[in-house]
Structure 1
Amino acid sequence: MFMAKTSLDDGVFDRSAYQNAKRQLRLVETELPQNAVSSLAREVVRRLAFRMPRHENAADLPTQSEIDLLCAALLSADDTAADQFILAARRDGVDVGAISRGYVAGAARKLGQMWDDDRISFIDVTLACGKLYGIIRGLRHVLAPQIIQGRETRPALFALVPGETHTLGIEIATDHFRRDGWDVDMLMGLDHDAMVSEADLRHYEAIVLVANSDRMLEPLTRLSLALRITQPLAHIIVAGGILDHHPDILHLVGAEAVMADLDTAIATLRDVLGPAKT
């Protein structure tokens, strides 16, 4: 097996993304009801288990005993055990495709099966999924090239959170940006899986998630988690009336920014992306 101890080296691991992911999931567990937290945990398991990049060399994939060891680390009381396992594997030369499709996806599938078989509790699986999600966020820069390979790069996507029925605001905002010269896409009227699948066709530098009512908090958070996995380098921005209901929405959704009003919307996106993203 790999070395037991390895430091979280900044050249391999994105500390900021990792810490933000951990903070987000801790907040989710305290702010949302248990059924919503369970739904979000299943979303993480599903996306990590079945939507990671393909890797064709079976010789590089982990053995079942290695998957078992990783799951044990994820379920242990040691918050860093799983991190050390993955980082040691990476430093020992394990291909990034094997880490994503082999170790992470394999562990996610096993955790999901253990949950379905009642071999682990709801609390166990949410903690383990949180650790796995944090690892993926921490490794986003090394995993991203395989995930977004071949996709056309677009500056921004405006997406109406599934279940939201107020469409006028997102239509006005998208038109506002296009009139300013931005070549941006808009998605609305889709269910969750269709939204994620459609977004997967391109690599977006920023994704603006629009929601208005308080009841959209769980669908908004679920969509953000899914897009963090499938669009690892995208900046997430939250907009719409939901900002009035949740002052901590930035951390709860795990976003980089909020788009508070139309007057400052373009400036907000420019601040997030940097200059000349038109």
Structure 2
Amino acid sequence: MPKKPKSGTREKVASTVAPLAEDLLLELASRGAGRRPVEMRHVARLRKAALSCSKTACLSACDRIASQGIGFDDIADLYVPAVARTLGDDWVDDRISFASTSVGAAMLQWLLGALEQAHLHSDIAVDGPGVLLMVPAGEHHTLGAVLLGQQLRRRGFWVRPMLQARAESLQPTLQRRLNATMISASPATGMQDLRRLVTAARKATAEASPVLIGGTIADLEPRLADRSGADHVATDVQDALRFCQFEDRSGVSLV
């Protein structure tokens, strides 16, 4: 039976599944010297655990993958985004329901937190640059932004997350700590709301701190920086750090 054509609305909603996750996966895979290619048998194992809505199953799947010599950082950086991408693709092609996609993404997001706490945790870099990391209110999934925050913390940055950010809720109380704002958005966020969020971020952070936008909206909205008022459209972590002229405190080269 031929696949049903995808509607524009369906594609737009699908783009909210794990914003930034695919960009992060591609960037990390291309950059990661010494990393092994993603093995689909491990992706399938972790996907099955996520869809089961069992925290125990997710942790067991990670332990099983780790027993094959794959580090927990690679599980977070490569395998979680790979599973998220399969969930989004399968929903678009009517192979799983949106409810199942949402459950799977939520479990993956929980797993990232559990992995960071148990295996990837490092002390908050109180002297490092501060980044305000926002997902606009109304976005369905925040997995990509959570992964981005974890990536930044492992590089020595102090991260202030706001996963359902509204312009009116931003207050200039942490000006001296916030040296940049990164917004992860999808086309589900209207341009007017995005402009208001960018304007509010400028008022809430230190003077001249850059505001960057990433996520799936970057691939679908032409002239995004001009239309939103942002300083830069970042397609991956390294691009964002280079634009902000931040040193990668993990020792990873930005070149």
Please report the TM-score for the alignment, with normalisation by the length of structure 2.
0.45
Please report the TM-score for the alignment, with normalisation by the length of structure 1.
0.42
Larger C-alpha radius of gyration, 1 or 2? 1
Greater helix share, structure number: 1
